Homo-oligomer: A and B are copies of this chain.
């Protein structure tokens, strides 16, 4: 007989599993584009605002440079982005969309619809998730 699951089990299991489930949902959509799910998220950040530094992209997605550096290099190797040192601050590397990366956005237009259909969630529920996840992430203490 299973015991009563306690609170952190609920939230941990569910967000963990939901994230993996979304990754699986996107995999067949991204395969024709030759992209992984994290690579898609990085491109999405750039489609919103082009020419951002590695650190800015990392802060947006909650990723360390040790994760982002090799990932972006793979995007560069496929000719989707360019990496250039910031002339104003030579420490920074500015990632910009190459032409091949820019035109790729058009092929992702139906993804939001697939997400709705693939999960069976309403737009209102999606927005509720958005609000709760943002609050949760923002609430986690960023130690200096």
Residues of A whose CB lies within 8 Å of any CB of B are 2-3, 5-22, 24-26, 41, 44, 47-49, 60-63, 111-112, 115-116, 118-121, 123, 125-130, 132-137, 139-141
Contact = CB atoms under 8 A, between A and B. Distances in A.
A45 to B, nearest CB: 8
Nearest to A125: B132
Given A14-B129, A120-B135, 9 more contacts: A2-B48, A8-B112, A10-B126, A12-B115, A15-B129, A19-B19, A24-B140, A118-B140, A121-B136
A120 B132 contact: no
Contact of A49 (B2, B14, B19, B63): B2
Contacts of A120: 135, 139
A15 B15 contact: yes
B121 A135 contact: yes
Contacts of A16: 19, 22, 41, 61-62
Contacts of A116: 7
Nearest to A135: B121
